[in-house]
Amino acid sequence: MAQAAAVNSTARPTTDKDRLISIPTGAEMLSLSEATIRRYLTQKVLRRFKVGNRTLIKVGDLMGLVKEVK
């Protein structure tokens, strides 16, 4: 019989808004250029998360940006 995997009780459940995506994916989601996303990162309109040499952004932050514009 296979043993059940141990559940890490300190881990938060991941929601879609917590998911990290790449700059090209975020740009495609919002129909913006990658340069615009990078400008928002530089201007600190969006938060960046570095994973190794990759720069990622949260889906929730992008959705918040859309709500601000509307």
The pLDDT assigned to 35 comes to 98
Q: 33 lies in which domain range?
A: 18-69
User: pLDDT tens-digit profile of 6-57?
Assistant: 455 455 556 788 999 999 999 999 999 999 999 999 999 999 999 999 999 9
Residue 50 lies in a domain: yes
DSSP one-letter code for 4: P
If one counts the domains in the chain, the total is 1
Exposed, middle or buried by CB within 10 Å (0-12, 13-18, 19+), for 67? Answer: exposed
The pLDDT assigned to 40 comes to 96
The pLDDT assigned to 23 comes to 97
Q: Which residues pair with 56 in a beta bridge?
A: 22, 49
Residue 49 lies in a domain: yes
Residue 13 lies in a domain: no
Residue 25 lies in a domain: yes
